[in-house]
Amino acid sequence: MSLWTAAERAQMLIGVALGDLQRQVGANIRRHRKHEGLTQEEFARRVGVHRTYLGGLERGERNLTLKAVESIAQQLGLEPLVLLASEEDRARMADLAAPPALQLGIRTSSSESAGSAPSR
């Protein structure tokens, strides 16, 4: 008989503490809601949930179904995976969205400061 629960084994394997994803999704919802300039009340009305439920989501106190993640992402104009992404994941996504020259650290004429001539 194992001394570890299935949840504890999963935590050890993936290195994510239980509840971290829930808090991460909540923080992402809050960040995107604020970026859109919406209050909790306005956004809750738009998504079709109560304001206190949305507050619980943003604090990572409530579990979300995948259907709810899809609905909230749609209301924010995002792909659902964006709400699940960690800060590190978002940084990697931003790097991938950068032009290839910037990904490699190569200076291009548009990235050089204005008025300076390229060295020969």
Average pLDDT per 10 consecutive residues for the chain, totaling 120 residues: 57 59 92 93 92 94 90 90 85 72 53 48
d(CA 35, CA 43): 12
Q: How many helices (H) and strands (E) does the chain have?
A: 8, 0
Supply the pLDDT for residue 112: 47
Supply the pLDDT for residue 109: 54
- Of the CA atoms within 13 Å of residue 120, those in its CB half-sphere come to 1
d(CA 50, CA 113): 50
Supply the pLDDT for residue 94: 77
CB 69 within 8 A of CB 25: yes
d(CA 60, CA 56): 6
Supply the pLDDT for residue 7: 57
Rounded to two decimals, the pTM is: 0.62
Supply the pLDDT for residue 113: 47
CB 77 within 8 A of CB 38: no
